[in-house]
Amino acid sequence: MSMQSTLVSQFHHPRGLLGQLAGWIMASRASNLERNRWTVDLLELNPADRVLELGPGPGVTLGLLLEQTNAGLVVGMDHSETMLAQCRKRNARAVREGRLQLTQGSFTELLDLPGPFDKIVAVNALQFDGMSNEALSQITALLKPGGTFAVSFQPRGSEPTEEKALAFGEKVASLLKGVGLTGIRIEKLPLEPVCAVCVLALAPQES
């Protein structure tokens, strides 16, 4: 495997020194920061919201969530201990105060999380391990009635295109409809080198 391919693989499962480098890239890339803040704004958070981020990477989006939920709880779950270590370091005060909880696991190992949640968000993470009915059913079961699930995606790699972003959005929208979510809409954010999309959906209200 070439060095480039090895580094690219670290964005799926960061580990070791190269995983730390991947985390630094994710945390410092301007388009990532703009995409993450846009996604958090779309959530329309309330101060007391309980929020789960799936695949928080180096913890930048967690910091944005914490800024707007000073009376709530933020939980981050990642399968990479390397990334969770960066999350702890970047958001150390919130961890000490009990406003941020971090746990290691996969998108099909969610039963021990402290749900239900008002909002669940995944930014450039769901495409790796969460695109199945099993994973999405477990994720959406953690939402409160009327709660919001937001899935953002910006293509990376050697040939990112707007068509790939929009196709991913349509696929996610179809999958979320299939697991019972409603009010589904797709938002688009123009970025360089290619746009980001965010799919938002609501858990059904109790009858």
> What is the spatial distance between Cα 92 and Cα 65, in angstroms, rounded to a whole number?
14
What is residue 58's three-state secondary structure?
coil
Is 92 among the domain residues? yes
Is 8 among the domain residues? no
Is 93 among the domain residues? yes
| Mean pLDDT, rounded, for 57-76 | 96
Reply yes or no on whether the pLDDT at 6 is more than 60: no
> What is the spatial distance between Cα 98 and Cα 91, in angstroms, rounded to a whole number?
11
Place 207 in a pLDDT band, splitting at 50, 70 and 90. low
Is 6 among the domain residues? no
5 phi and psi angles, rounded to 5 deg: -65, -35
Domain count along the chain: 1
Q: For the beta carbon of residue 112, count every other beta carbon within 10 angstroms.
A: 9
Is 10 among the domain residues? no
Express each pLDDT in 110-147 by its tens digit: 778 999 999 999 999 988 777 889 899 999 999 999 99
Is 155 among the domain residues? yes
Place 5 in a pLDDT band, splitting at 50, 70 and 90. very low
CATH code, 97: 3.40.50.150
Is 68 among the domain residues? yes
Burial class (CB in 10 A: 0-12, 13-18, 19+), 207: exposed
Per-residue pLDDT, 149: 98
- Mean model confidence pLDDT for the chain: 87
Give the H/E segment covering residue 123. strand 117-123
Q: What is the residue range of 49's domain? A: 30-202
Per-residue pLDDT, 13: 54
Per-residue pLDDT, 4: 45
Is 15 among the domain residues? no
